[in-house]
Amino acid sequence: MSRPAATLVLADGTTFEGYAAGYLPEGGVTTGEFVFNTALSGYQEVITDPSYAGQVITFTYPHIGNYGVTPLDDEAARPWCRGVVVRELAARRSNWRSVEDLETFLVRHRVPAIVGVDTRRLTRHLRSHGALAGAFGAGDRDSVSAAARTATGTDGQDYVTAVTTPSTYTRGAGDRHVVAYDYGVKETMVAQLARRFRVTVVPAGTSAEEVRSLRPDGVFLSNGPGDPAALVTHVDEIGRLVGTVPIFGICLGHQLLATALGARTFKLPFGHHGSNHPVQDLASGRVEITAQNHNYAVSPDSLERAVISHVNLNDGVIEGLSSRAERCFSVQYHPEAGPGPHDARYLFERFDHLLSGHWESM
């Protein structure tokens, strides 16, 4: 396939050559914050994860698209990422579940891509210099460079308002009722909750008073994109719920719960994005291989009303918190694992135990 030449330029001026693929935007240039994901498979789930809003995903695995895509693997109704960077985009799909190829999917959802890039070099640069804003596209190099210089990252950005559900909906038919805040929730996350509970998914801006009026047995705080420090209003509403109802938070939900409990967050150099991060449960000593997708973390010296329950064995980052007194807990990683290992799905059972009033490890 003949593709137009394209250029990728980071905010620090570092330049990469490639070819334009996927959707070609008007003007030919796309901007965003560049991050890398180390998962070996699950590219469709990664691309459709709303937590990537505002970001350009670099896949470290060199061969992407070989098994096509299927609606069954969508984590949201549409991708929210700004674009994708791939070494080699497979032209042929080979899987009985596939209904279309990845590039057709990208075009249909208006997601630009750049292929043929030395993704190993790009990943090493991001590891050394941190996640960087930048631009890519088939426009002339000066235009791409100019766009890169003015591109912005995720600091101070509220992307939750864009990705949250516009209206309340329900799933599942369990005996216990859980209200789930949608900050950018993944379909697999909702499915795991719905296997155990009757779930009411509400928009991110729903007030604590409105949640209490639904008479939930528990409240769930989902994953989502952007900077948790920019979501002051959401933290305030969570603070009004803490101590009144059991709460379970994941990823952004973990950060927001921690903030409501008095902690602070900070931005990691290049974040955790992939499905092979080792995490230790400090209570049991058990090590789990986990799926992760976050650029921010909770500062350990800021904890006031919770204890650390899990840590990342690669860099020591806090991966979980709990408070027996407040009847709440949270994890930074993704126990629903779409894609990724299922080592941590026991946490949904832990939430069920908490709602039953006898979570022994709280």
Catalytic machinery residues: 251, 334, 336
Q: Measured at the alpha carbon of residue 176, what is the angle toward residues 174 and 182, in degrees to the nearest 5?
A: 90
d(CA 91, CA 100): 11
The DSSP secondary-structure symbol of 17 reads: E
- Phi and psi of 47, rounded to 5°? -65, -35
Residue with tokens 């249909």: 108
Are residues 319 and 310 in contact, defined by beta-carbon separation less than 8 angstroms?
Answer: yes
Q: Which helix (H) or strand (E) holds 86?
A: strand 83-86
Using an 8 Å Cβ cutoff, are 277 and 39 in contact? Answer: no
> Cα 78 to the chain's mean position, in Å?
14
Label residues 144-180 b or e (16+ Cβ within 10 Å = b).
Answer: bbebbeebebbeebbbbeebbbeeeeebbebebbbbb
252-260 helix and 232-241 helix, angle to the nearest 10 degrees: 70
Give the N- to C-terminal CA distance of the chain in Å, as an integer. 57
Alpha-carbon distance values, 214 to 164, 197, 209, 238, 268 (Å): 19, 14, 9, 15, 37
CA–CA distance, 88 with 92 (Å, rounded to integer)? 12
Tokens 């650390």, residue located: 308
Sign of the CA dihedral with 332 first, then 336, 338, and 343 last: positive
* CA–CA gap between residue 254 and residue 334 (Å, rounded): 11
Residue recorded with tokens 């026991």: 346
Please give the angle made by the CA atoms of 261, 293 and 81, to the nearest 5 degrees: 115
